[in-house]
Amino acid sequence: MILALAGTFVLVGVAAPFLDGSRFAGQIKQTLESTLGRSVDFEEVHFTVFSGLGVSLENVTIGEDPRFGLEPFAFVPTLQARIRLDKLLGGEIRFSSFRLIDPSLNLVKRSDETWNVVELVERLSAPRRIPLNFFPVFDVSGGRIDFKFESRKTTLYILDSDLSIYPAQSGKLSVEFSGYPARTDRGGHGFAYLRGALNWYTKRGNSGASGLDGDLYLDPSNLGELTTLIEGHDVGVHGTVSTHARIEGPLNALAIRGELKATDVHRWDLLPENSGSWRILYGGTANLIASELRLRNFPPPPARVSPVVLEMVVRDFLTSPKWSVNAHLDKIPVQDVLPISSRMGLTLPESLNISGVLGGVVDYVGGAGLNGHIQMENLEATLPDVLPLRAATVTASISNDGIRFDPARLETANGALTAAGNLYFSERQADLALSAQRYPVGDLKDVLHTWAGDPPVLDAMKDGLISGAIQYRRAENNGEGGWSGNFRVEEGLISFPGLVAPLENLDARVAFDRSGVEVSHLSTSIGSANLRGTYRFVAGAKRPERIHLELATAKMEDIEAMLQPTLESKSWLNRLGVTRRSIPQWLANRNLEGDLSINNFVVNDAAIGRLSAHFSWQGTTLDVLSLQLKMPEGTVKTEGTIILSSNQPRFDFKGSVNDFPWRGGLVDAEGTFRTKGTGEDKLRNLQATGSFVGKDVALDGDESFDKVTGTFEFSFADGWPDLRFPRVQASDGENDWVGEAASQSDGKLVFDLMHGGKQRRVIGLLTPEGRGALSAPIDR
């Protein structure tokens, strides 16, 4: 008998879904519409047994109360409804539960703050209706819940939601739900997983007002996804957050208490740190009718006052959320803030130790960004082997773009600096500005090296005092720092490649940035001579460097001695010619154009005259584009090239001299000369050729000529100047003489001339004194 009944039950259960229940469709439709107060349409009706005696409706559309719009309340692909057996035996169809599978629901709020779902529940629980315990259990599986305000559907919705509502005779609805909040303007799955269990009292207490109590849970979720859910975009801060909140009270004044956990909070482009979690206790109120939420944090036990008070307000959280967070900071140790700074991308040395306290107020308003002001007091930053920095007060303004640090006085052991800076969030870059007043160069370089880097313009400075400002900007897209500045150097000690000794007592005005460097009002000395000048470097120019130098008096010997590393190789093997010269990098990269002016140019303790030159220097080639030497006796003009790539510098020039007074007349000459080496070697190796024209020249006593022309050759033979005139033409007003001439070691210049077979010898002196500079021997 039992087996027969069981077999019958199985047979009925198997066959039930295939039985057409359309003849009961009218009564089912009427019952549903009476229960829900809305029109109900469906396409097919099938019976179910295994899941409980009931029906399965296909493609169900539940209409909306006209007060809440024209769009249906729900579309349900499959609606499973259990039938109450006690009513069925009496010939009446009444449902004990509904299960909506994969439905789409529209929760609508009118301008008078009423919700269609609240109206539905209150209608079912009204005294004129059936007792609440006869209201069927309501289940939603895998549903989508959209929110509408009037006729406008919001971008927020709940995806893959499960919902269960269990009524009790006491007037309580037990609600369990879960789902993924999502946005219609963002693809993919939801942004977090939200779940909860609530009790909804439709008649609570003596007031008769409906209320809620229960627990809400946000499972561990990505912080970036949560901000995208609220803001519509990722604000750039990632991590994992979760929370549990207890709520209780009427719908328009829910009391909330909860705890939030945050782990690995960091900027989006940085790797998360393996750090502990933040635990934040919070509480507040929520008005579900007005869509408003207010929360603030509480200090963890046993503290009675929290150093950080966070207050969050969210309005219209189901339409277009408007939210803000207000942070009150009160005497927070700065050291505790450093881990947060590193997670946000502010790179600081690991051995940095900072003491002081932080206070202020910071607001974050959704859609508008950050705004606030902070103040640090009694700040001290120390690093090993570095002078500590101290500041009584440091203030900063916070905006949506970044943080602006106001100018602050930094005390060090050797003076005071004024510092200011900016951190830009969107551009991910940082600025630092330091200003000083007669601050030691070495100490300033140490401070910059420790906290920012090394400005290239300060590399050559070894000592001195700086007054002015230096700025540093670091952009994280390329990781390179950009320097700029404008300052004055006093009592400086500067060392440049190519100079045998540093320049002392240098004063100058320096301005520089990414485009180049300009040094003006430069004053220093080379040997005993005072040097003034300017220097400019323009990045990307054909001749990036431009220099102008002026000296009142300068000896050629002092200049050569100062430039010895440039002119000579350091290796004795190079100087002997055994190996090739190794070109230093600074010389290979040299590319400049310049001017040199010496009011009194001295050679071998003899004042020669005023020298001016214009040159172009590229690598190991120095082109003297023009050189002019104004002497009392005349003007020498020349141009040529100095080659620095060999063991000794090589000189190759051409020049001219005009109206040079000699032997009572004037001489014009032009020619070429070449030599190599420095100092005496340069004179020993000198060779010159050219031509000359002399007028009214008295070679010896009464031996006078109206005009003398010819060619000349000059060199040193056995340490003595050797001047030769291979071809000479001389006119004495009556006859034209031709011949040759040569100098002797005693300083005499002997002319052997001929005219019409007649010979004539004329002996003169190169200089009035006989053995002069040109006739002096050179030590070998």
Looking at residue 496, its pLDDT comes to 73
Looking at residue 1, its pLDDT comes to 46
Give 251-298 pLDDT, tens digit per residue. 888 999 998 887 765 554 444 555 556 788 889 998 877 778 898 888
pLDDT tier for residue 478 given thresholds of 50, 70 and 90: low
- Tokens 């020049």 -> residue: 655
Structure-model confidence comparison of residues 307 and 56, the more confident one: 56
Looking at residue 375, its pLDDT comes to 92
pLDDT at residue 440 tops 80: yes
Dig out the tokens for 378 from the structure.
């009694």
Residue-range domain boundaries for the chain: 16-185, 667-765
Q: Average pLDDT of 393-407?
A: 88
User: What is the DSSP secondary structure assignment for residue 353, as one 8-state letter?
Assistant: E
pTM of the full structure: 0.63
User: What is the DSSP secondary structure assignment for residue 439, as one 8-state letter?
Assistant: E
For the chain, state the CA radius of gyration. 49
Residues above pLDDT 90, as percent of the chain:
20
pLDDT at residue 586 tops 90: no
Measure Cα distances from 633 to 83, 608, 660, 671, 699 in Å: 131, 9, 5, 18, 17
Residues 6+ apart with CB under 8 A from 89: none
Strand partners, 235: none
Structure-model confidence comparison of residues 778 and 214, the more confident one: 214
Angstrom distance (rounded) from CA 434 to CA 471:
6
With residues binned 3-state (H G I as helix, E B as strand, rest as coil), the percentages for the chain, rounded to 5, are 15, 60, 30
pLDDT at residue 404 tops 80: yes
The distance from CA 440 to its chain's CA centroid, rounded to whole angstroms, is 29
pLDDT at residue 693 tops 90: yes
Q: Average pLDDT of 234-246?
A: 76
pLDDT tier for residue 353 given thresholds of 50, 70 and 90: confident
Q: Average pLDDT of 758-779?
A: 60
Dig out the tokens for 731 from the structure.
């006119």
Angstrom distance (rounded) from CA 124 to CA 415:
81
Angstrom distance (rounded) from CA 501 to CA 721:
34
Looking at residue 414, its pLDDT comes to 79
Q: Which of 430, 282, 431 is nearest to 344 (CA)?
A: 430
Angstrom distance (rounded) from CA 363 to CA 361:
7
Q: Is 351 exposed, middle or buried (0-12, 13-18, 19+ CB in 10 A)?
A: exposed
Structure-model confidence comparison of residues 175 and 342, the more confident one: 175
Q: Are 475 and 429 in contact (CB under 8 A)?
A: yes
Structure-model confidence comparison of residues 505 and 170, the more confident one: 505
pLDDT at residue 775 tops 50: no
Looking at residue 165, its pLDDT comes to 80
Looking at residue 7, its pLDDT comes to 43
Q: Average pLDDT of 94-123?
A: 80
pLDDT tier for residue 5 given thresholds of 50, 70 and 90: very low
Q: Average pLDDT of 479-493?
A: 85
**Per the omega criterion (within 30 degrees of 0), is the bond before 302 cis?**
yes
pLDDT at residue 169 tops 70: no
pLDDT at residue 128 tops 70: no
Looking at residue 486, its pLDDT comes to 94
Give the CA-trace dihedral at 461, 464, 469, 475, to 10 degrees. 30
Angle at 678 between CA 778 and CA 585, to 5 degrees: 165
Give the range among 26-30, 139-143, 521-525 with minimum mean pLDDT: 26-30
Q: Which of 159, 160, 158 is nearest to 142 (CA)?
A: 160
Q: Which of 662, 553, 681, 679 is nearest to 607 (CA)?
A: 553
pLDDT at residue 773 tops 50: no
Give 731-763 pLDDT, tens digit per residue. 988 888 999 988 887 778 888 989 888 888 888
pLDDT at residue 214 tops 60: yes
Give the range among 139-148, 287-296, 576-585, 680-689 with minimum mean pLDDT: 576-585
pLDDT at residue 16 tops 50: no
Q: Average pLDDT of 26-37?
A: 81
Give 531-583 pLDDT, tens digit per residue. 899 999 888 888 888 999 998 888 887 777 767 666 665 554 444 454 566 78
Structure-model confidence comparison of residues 134 and 541, the more confident one: 541
Q: Are 147 and 131 in contact (CB under 8 A)?
A: no
Looking at residue 135, its pLDDT comes to 56
Residues above pLDDT 70, as percent of the chain:
77
Give 589-616 pLDDT, tens digit per residue. 888 899 999 999 888 778 888 999 999 9
Looking at residue 705, its pLDDT comes to 86
Give the CA-trace dihedral at 689, 744, 773, 713, to 10 degrees. 0
Angstrom distance (rounded) from CA 224 to CA 264:
12
Looking at residue 487, its pLDDT comes to 94
pLDDT at residue 18 tops 90: no
Structure-model confidence comparison of residues 56 and 425, the more confident one: 56
Dig out the tokens for 396 from the structure.
């900063």
pLDDT at residue 237 tops 70: no
Structure-model confidence comparison of residues 774 and 244, the more confident one: 244
Please, what is the average pLDDT of the chain?
79
Looking at residue 10, its pLDDT comes to 41
Looking at residue 548, its pLDDT comes to 93
Q: Are 455 and 470 in contact (CB under 8 A)?
A: yes
Angstrom distance (rounded) from CA 291 to CA 30:
35
Give the CA-trace dihedral at 89, 92, 98, 103, to 10 degrees. 140
- Tokens 């859910």 -> residue: 229
